[in-house]
Every structure is written in C-alpha cells, then in structure tokens.
Amino acid sequence: MSAMHLKNISLVTIRKYLEWKGAKMIRITGGHEVWSRADLLRPIIIQTHIDPVPEFIVKQILRAFGADRDDFIKFLTS
C-alpha cells in the first residue's frame, strides 16, 4: 500500500480519472456533475463548487468502480 493520501485531488484530475475508467458525464444539474457507465449500479455525483475534492468522495468513486488506492496511483503516474 502506498503512503500517498487521497487528499487535495483537483476536480480536473477526478474528471480525467472518470474518463480513464470509461465513465461519461451524462448531465450537469446545478453545481453537480452526474457521471455514469453501463455497468455501474448508481451514477457518480461530483460537486463542481468544491475544489479540491474531499477524500471521502474520492474513496466513494474508487468503491463505485471496484478500484483501490493503488489503481488511482497508477492512473496518476501514467
């Protein structure tokens, strides 16, 4: 397990990660972006007015994809 924290992740980075995982933005409602992928049980919602993204939201996104911290770190280093 890496010592890297999932804090201070920018909205731009989260959007790129969602695209990297194959998710598409399906709509923007108010200050929220709704992202989805065919095999996800629920859509992923991110708030566009909170930057950086809170750590618990990053963890929820990883959980939705069945990914872990190492998968996210692999994305950051690629």
Structural domain contains residue 4 = no
pLDDT tens sequence across 19-69:
999 999 999 999 999 999 999 999 999 999 999 999 999 999 999 999 999
Structural domain contains residue 66 = yes
Structural domain contains residue 6 = no
Structural domain contains residue 37 = yes
Domain containing residue 33: CATH number: 3.30.920.30
Task: Name the residue range of residue 68's domain.
Answer: 11-77
Tell me the C-alpha distance between 55 and 61, whole Å.
10
Structural domain contains residue 27 = yes
- Strands of 32-36's sheet in order across: 24-29, 32-36, 44-47
Structural domain contains residue 47 = yes
How many of the other CB atoms lie within 10 Å of CB of 12? 9
**Whole-model pTM above 0.95?**
no
Structural domain contains residue 60 = yes
Domain count, the chain: 1
